[in-house]
Amino acid sequence: MHYSVCVLGATGMVGQKFVQLLENHPWFKVKSLAASEKRIGKKYGSEVEWLISANLPDYAKDVEMVPLDPKQVDADIVFSALPADIAKEVEPKFAEAGFVVSSNASAFRMEEDVPLVIPEVNADHLKLVEVQKKRRGWDGFIITNPNCTSTMFVLTLKPLMDLGLKSVRIASMQALSGAGYPGVPSLAITDNIIPFIKNEEEKCESEPLKMLGTFKGDRIEFAKIRVSASCHRVPVIDGHTEAVWVEFERNVSVEEVKEAFNSLKPLDLPSSPEKVIVIRNEIDRPQPRLDRDAGKGMSVVVGRIRKDAWGIKYIVLGHNTVRGAAGASILNAELLVKEKMV
């Protein structure tokens, strides 16, 4: 079983991660790579300054790049690593032309009829696809994965909902790769922390409410919890670390929280990790260098689970370009295949 795929925005940092993760994928075969007009017709290997910590896959070196035009693309599934402003214009053209678009871009995440999906959290939100196709008159459709920061802590919030989750506070320590390339200037981030990331806090406070909400036939009823976020850029290459404080409607113990985390089961998909939430008991874990590659970058790692005045607090870490970006879009596409939506 093989499905042909195209990566839109293949030359950027997330686009490169798509190219890396799709190498030897059991279900998906890259048939085309699409990029900006100046790169059309040129070979991918000669145009890309390879940024990630692996060699450029051999299969991609001689692929001639095509335009961001559905008439020029032959694929069953399109992965989008486009900037939000370009995605806003390009992705609907592909959906209207009948393509399945699995997008990492933020352009359509909060649209009422577009699923914002983490498969282990809200797979049932894929039911919005039929609403979207009917409402927009498209033969194809768009699904999205969340912001890389939201992804990490929402995976931990899902199993806590049944414990009476009331409010959430998070403080993020976000890796440089989350800023793309060339990212943050070295003189700005060396020996420094930058306590502002444009639009990040707004995404972290709104996206979880949609993902943890309930499908109501033609829309999502947002979750009735409160989320407050403070987001910061730190001098780490990969791996977003987040301090999380959760408040409940009742007194909840540390053991109940650990049991809830262990209850979140992986799906039977090629990119699914063996454990979705890995609990570290060491007092000084998780750490980006030690834990970001857990589950090949698809697990989130939790540690320092403890009581406080609000309820429970803990640290969560995840690989921002794998589970938080390209890997998330690929997992979403795998879910679509399993659900026979491709």
Catalytic residue status for 240: yes
d(CA 11, CA 16): 6
Q: Does the bond joining 273 to the residue before it have cis omega, within 30 degrees of 0?
A: no
Instruction: Please give the DSSP secondary-structure letter assigned to residue 116.
Output: B
Q: What is the largest CA-CA distance in the chain?
A: 61
Q: List CB contacts of 249: < 8 A, sequence separation 6 or more.
A: 164, 165, 166
C-beta of residue 204 within 8 angstroms of C-beta of residue 229: yes
HSE (side-chain half, CA atoms, 13 Å) at 48: 31
Catalytic residue from among 6, 125, 204, 240: 240
- Is position 148 annotated as part of the catalytic site? yes
In terms of Cα–Cα distance, which of 128, 127, 157, 339 is closest to 331?
Answer: 339
Identified catalytic residue from 6, 148, 204, 231: 148
Task: Give the active site residues.
Answer: 148, 240
